[in-house]
Amino acid sequence: MNEAWFKRKLPQAKVMSCDISQGALEVAKRNAAQLQAEVEFLQLDILNPKNWMQLPMV
């Protein structure tokens, strides 16, 4: 499953995808566009605590 699928199933949800790989994000962006799913994409390493402040608080 991917972020675009979640957005299609839960249209009221705000869906975000993050990855360290620009290539992986490009694939995810294409998938979201094909499914007409609004997804926010961030390129960052979420395993690095220094990057955690860039993520939205839930």
The pTM (predicted TM-score) of the whole model is 0.76
Domain extent, residue 21, equals: 3-54
Give φ, ψ of 8 to 5 degrees. Answer: -65, -40
Output the CA–CA distances (angstroms, integers) from residue 51 to 24, 36, 39, 45, 54, in the order listed: 18, 29, 20, 7, 6
Structural domains of the chain, count: 1
- pLDDT cut 70: percent of the chain above it: 98
pLDDT score of 47 more than 90: yes
* Predicted pLDDT at 54: 87
Average pLDDT on 3-15 reads: 83
pLDDT score of 48 more than 90: yes
